[in-house]
Structure 1
Amino acid sequence: MPSRNAITSRVLVTLAEIEAVADAWQELERHCADPLGYFQSYEWCRGWVKHFGTGGHRPYVMTLWRGEQLIALWPRMIVETPGLRRLETLGTPHTQYCGALVRRGSAPMAEISRRMTAAARASGCDVTISRAVPEGTALAELLAGKPEVRGSANAASMLDLSGFGGPEDYVGQLGKLQRRNRNRRRNHLARLGELGFETVWPEHPEFEELVRLCTGMKRRWLAETGRYSVGFSMSGYEDFLAELPGDRRKLSGACLFVLRAGECPVAIELGFIRKRHYYAYIGGFDWDLRDLSPGKVQMDMTVAWLIENGIDAYDLLINEADYKASWTSRTVAVTTRAQALSWKGWLYTAAWLPSLRPALKRLHGALPAIADRVTVLMRPAACLLLYV
């Protein structure tokens, strides 16, 4: 029998096993000082497994224990594709950051890394992939010696709110042109009706309806701009989002920021708050009002609310963009790590991820507009292939 201080490993592969360790998981979250950990929270992972953790996405949550105390947890899943088994980040493609929860000082990081690697090898997968690992996190330290996928460098864009004394201080530090443009947008939008801004939590009777309206707005934006989202294509996505918990009194979990002109919602943002960090997850706006920029007005009001309520960061997540640069003040480097566990995994990591997949993505993005219209029916299959 192992001693009470011995470290033991356990892999959770069913929803029931995950729910059985809910208290230990949430207790580890409270003691984990790691940044950017919402997508490893019990709330997110349990909800995702409930809705999507079957068939080709089987949970494989690796945990380490010292006695009855959970000291480390890495949420993973086994993804089955023809001829290849991948050990992926649990929640992909919806999870934005890949991370692990670690109780610092409970065991040497080298020991935790060794045991997690052993659990990954025991999965029977051909390759283990960690997409979007932010620098400065426990997982980045655990994977320090693992291969980085060439060309995978990315960044998350954030606005540091901790230095502002209040919303007026934030506005006062904007440039003159920025202030003028933001006031102009509000005034033009207000011609449709008095502007109202509200924070809506899951306890609100309209929360589910507004989540569905937000995702509907985003779906139209995707269609109008000719984009395709693997995450939005998965059946039940709205149901999953609408069931995520949030606590208004603790300022934690899922919430909506709703901008109305008169009685009509014109922009909605779904996000998550965890440890004074806000993740802006999905933003939607009325496409017919796009020339009035309701989404930007909503973002402006959201930042003011976050500052008023003591939130330290407004996180616009990964993939840099021009509009993000105008709203944020810093970036966090993000990379993808991949390790082959079989010869098929070696081919995948040596050829597909660093070379063939990026080349196909460039080719797909370079298709002329006319050809793009002709192949619109093939777009979902092409995007799924490029995501693998």
Structure 2
Amino acid sequence: MNLQPREELDSRVLGTLDEIEAVAAAWRELEAECADPLGYFQSYDWCCNWIREFCGQGTHKPYVVTLRHGDVLVALWPLMIVEAAGLKRLETLGAPHSQYCGALVRRGYASAAQIAKQMRDVVRASECDVSVLRAVVEGTALSELVAGDSQVRGTENVASMLDLSAYGSVEDYTAQLGKLQKRNRNRRRNHLARLGPLHFEVIWPDHAEFSTLVRQCTEMKRRWLAETHRLSAGFSMQGYEDFLARLGGDEAELNGACLSVLRAGDQVVAMELGFIQQRHYYAYIGGFDWDLRNLSPGKVQMDMTVGWLIENGVQAYDLLINPADYKASWTNRSLAVTTRAQALSWKGRIYTSAWLPRVRPALKWLHGRIPAWMERVSTLLRPTVCLLLYV
């Protein structure tokens, strides 16, 4: 159905959990119909669970924008209002945990220009100082809607993924690896198997051990962060493990949260929490036994996960944003990602012209060069430092 450009869609902002739960069926139906392939972090399950865990303290308030034509939900943009240091920011709902900023848009009901105009009107009505979208992927529906927003200087990023659609089977995938890749893969598996027979499985939220193993996976990741002196704004927020353990998933539908588990004998040596939507897999958190790091259990698990995805008809293995050498060795495709910001007040103009492009990057650069003794002292303040550098 095509609307004339002059026809206004009915806009409404959902700001409470009750209002959001009331549109659950329409939200999920829009997810299924949405043409945007990178929309998991705008799914009802992700957003609603995040609100339940993190929006009870008053610092994060849901601001979910909906556009309707009659009874049909045409577009939905999950945002939130974050208040800190006297500044009100309009951000992607779920940040810093949501990896991609996005909007769900039903094609054919209105032009992109019309939807963008009405979305901008609702953004201005938020009474925030600034809107900040930290990971807008090129070519998505949201990238069209915010084309007029300024790109923050120095925020160029990429999302790395392995296109699995070219492989008809695991054997086909293996055959196309280089000789060195095959040799390294076999060597890693053989060395790890000295600890005991390797057993790999993918479990879903209805599995008795899912919640326990998700928490163990995050603890493995926390140790890696500590050992490598890295900061993570997402891990600094209390309740993160509880949130992840409550995410839904459906094995029969091949949709939602799932956990890859690799054991050597009876010992869990590596895991990966991922999400599947529309045959697209997001590798969200990987963890491995740090004491076995020289045996590369994480790489063995990744290789087995890729094989499982191919066997189950998944089309992409997405390693998400922030380039890294290991990602380059695993992937064959990338998408450009940028941060977009729009000042909505004089405070917002200072934030977008000074803090985002200059002050914040300088602080992150400085933190990466502090002496080891200062690093030990700063460990006590790690949660505060993480959130400060994320703002």
Give the structure-2-normalised TM-score.
Answer: 0.96
Indicate yes or no: 2:287 matched with 1:284. yes
Q: CA RMSD in A?
A: 1.0
Tell me if structure 1 keeps the 8 A contact 2:160–2:327.
Answer: yes
SS at match of 2:234: helix
Distance 2:268 2:227 in 1: 19
Distance 1:34 1:228 in 2: 31
Q: What residue is the counterpart of 1:27 in the other structure? A: 29
Distance 2:353 2:8 in 1: 38
Q: What residue is the counterpart of 1:308 in the other structure? A: 311
Q: Which amino acid aligns with 2:60?
A: H
Q: What residue is the counterpart of 1:367 in the other structure? A: 370
Q: Which runs of 4+ in 1 moved over 2 A?
A: 368-383
Cα deviation, 1:14-49, whole Å, max 9, x if unaligned, reads 111110000111111111111210000011001101
Indicate yes or no: 2:152 matched with 1:184. no
Tell me if structure 2 keeps the 8 A contact 1:201–1:248.
Answer: yes
Distance 1:369 1:170 in 2: 44
Once the two structures are superposed, the pairs formed by residues 321-332 of structure 1 within 5 Å of their partners are 321-332=324-335
Tell me if structure 1 keeps the 8 A contact 2:261–2:270.
Answer: yes
Distance 2:385 2:255 in 1: 37
Distance 1:6 1:185 in 2: 59
Q: What residue is the counterpart of 1:51 in the other structure? A: 53
Q: What residue is the counterpart of 1:237 in the other structure? A: 240
SS at match of 1:96: coil
SS at match of 1:152: coil
Cα deviation, 1:189-229, whole Å, max 9, x if unaligned, reads 00000000001001111111111111111111111112221
Indicate yes or no: 2:357 matched with 1:354. yes
Indicate yes or no: 2:170 matched with 1:154. no
Q: Could you say if the C-alpha distance between residues 314 and 103 of structure 1 is closer, same or farther in structure 2, counting changes exceeding 3 Å? A: same
Tell me if structure 1 keeps the 8 A contact 2:102–2:142.
Answer: yes
Tell me if structure 1 keeps the 8 A contact 2:91–2:132.
Answer: yes
Distance 1:147 1:215 in 2: 35
Q: Which amino acid aligns with 2:95?
A: T
Distance 1:87 1:6 in 2: 24
Give unpaired runs (5+ residues) of structure 2.
1-6
Tell me if structure 1 keeps the 8 A contact 2:236–2:387.
Answer: no
Distance 1:248 1:46 in 2: 20
Q: What residue is the counterpart of 2:14 in the other structure? A: 12
SS at match of 1:170: helix
Q: Which moved more, 1:363-372 or 1:88-97?
A: 363-372
Give the structure-1-normalised TM-score.
Answer: 0.97
Q: What residue is the counterpart of 1:385 in the other structure? A: 388
Distance 2:233 2:359 in 1: 19
CA-CA distance at 1:67 after TM superposition: 0.7
Q: What residue is the counterpart of 2:41 in the other structure? A: 39
Count, aligned residues: 384
Q: Which amino acid aligns with 1:136?
A: G
CA-CA distance at 1:382 after TM superposition: 2.4
Q: 1:297 aligns with which of 287, 291, 300?
A: 300
SS at match of 1:375: helix
Once the two structures are superposed, the pairs formed by residues 111-122 of structure 1 within 5 Å of their partners are 111-122=114-125
CA-CA distance at 1:57 after TM superposition: 0.6
Q: Which amino acid aligns with 1:42?
A: Y
Distance 1:124 1:144 in 2: 21
- Report % sequence identity: 70
Distance 1:322 1:316 in 2: 12
Indicate yes or no: 2:317 matched with 1:317. no
Tell me if structure 2 keeps the 8 A contact 1:147–1:338.
Answer: yes
SS at match of 1:233: coil
Q: Which amino acid aligns with 2:390?
A: Y
Cα deviation, 1:299-358, whole Å, max 9, x if unaligned, reads 000000001110000000000000000000011100010000000000000111011111
CA-CA distance at 1:234 after TM superposition: 1.3
Tell me if structure 1 keeps the 8 A contact 2:236–2:386.
Answer: no
Q: What residue is the counterpart of 2:4 in the other structure? A: none
Tell me if structure 1 keeps the 8 A contact 2:237–2:383.
Answer: no
